[in-house]
Amino acid sequence: MKRVFNWAGQALLYGIFAAFVVIFSQWPAYAPLAPEEALIKLSFVHHGQRVAECRPYTADELAKLAPNMRAPLKCGRERAPVTIELDIDGALAYRYTAAPSGLSRDGASTVYKRLELPAGKHRIAVRMRDTTATSGFTYQHDATVDLVPAQVLVIDFDSERGEIVLL
């Protein structure tokens, strides 16, 4: 009798365990994005302009350099931060200034931002400044997009074409 009870007990335990595993490995369903919404991924990897303009070495400076180190121009390493602004339907949705990476601040500035918005037509304006100027923008892109639900719109910078692109 005890053996039968133990068998029944084991069956019960295995059943509960299996039910727990199968339920929580598939349920409840998860929706990463609300219905009727779309997603904008604003992402750049971009080097800002040099903070100091390149200039020719002076004769004295060249004389102090080893012969194999003598270059025509002297360039500082530090880059300007990159400022991004994104307007959606005429309102500022995101603004961010990305510092250059690297200990000498000579690397690329990076931005990655997700913005969820309702599907449908939207007026998008993207502006990027990669100089030390305090006003004005180096690059700008305006477009009207018609987003379907769950669509991902990527805003990136194409360095070969030298412009902001919407993908």
Partner 1 sequence: MAVLTHRSSASAPPHIAARLWRALEHGFDALVGAGGNPLKQLGALGFLLLWLLVGSGAVLYAVLDTSASGAYQSIEALSREQWRWGSLLRGLHRYAADAMVLVVLAHVVREWMLGRFRSFRAASWLTGVPLLLLLFVSAIGGFWLNWDRLGQFSATATAEWLDALPGLASPLARNFLSGTQLNDRLFSLFVFVHLGVPLMLVFGLWFHVQRLSRAQVFPTRALATGTGLTLLILAAIRPVRSQGPADLATVPATLNYDWLLLFIHPLTAATSAAMVWGLLVFFMALLLALPWLGVWRARAQPVALRAATGDAVEAGATLPATSHTHWRPAALTQFVAEVDPDHCSGCRRCVEDCPYAAITMVPHPSGRVGMELAQVRSDLCASCGICVGSCPSSTPFRSAEVLHTGIDMPQWPIDALRRQMQSGLVALPGPRRYVVFGCAEGADLGQLSADEVLALPLVCTGLLPPSFIEYALRAGADGVLVATCREGGCAFRLGERWTRERLQGLREPRLRASVSANGWSLVAADRGDEAVLAAALQALRSRTAESFEYPESTA
Site residues (vs partner 1, CB under 8 A):
6, 9-10, 12-14, 17-18, 20-22, 24-33, 35, 39, 41, 43, 45, 101, 107-108, 110, 112, 114, 149-154, 156, 167
Minimum distance of partner 1 from residue 150's CB (angstroms): 5
Q: With residue 121 as reference, give the H or E element that holds it.
A: strand 120-129
**Which of 91, 167 has the CB closer to partner 1?**
167
Number of neighbouring beta carbons within 10 Å of residue 75: 11
- Which amino acid is residue 102, in one-letter code? G
Minimum distance of partner 1 from residue 74's CB (angstroms): 26
**Which of 30, 90 has the CB closer to partner 1?**
30
Q: Give the whole-angstrom CA distance, residue 83 versus residue 109.
A: 9
Minimum distance of partner 1 from residue 18's CB (angstroms): 5
**Torsion region of 108: left, alpha or beta (phi above 0 gives left; psi -120 to 50 gives alpha):** beta
Evaluated on CA atoms 6, 10, 11, 13, the torsion sign reads: positive
**Which of 92, 112 has the CB closer to partner 1?**
112
Q: With residue 126 as reference, give the H or E element that holds it.
A: strand 120-129
Minimum distance of partner 1 from residue 4's CB (angstroms): 12
**Which of 21, 65 has the CB closer to partner 1?**
21
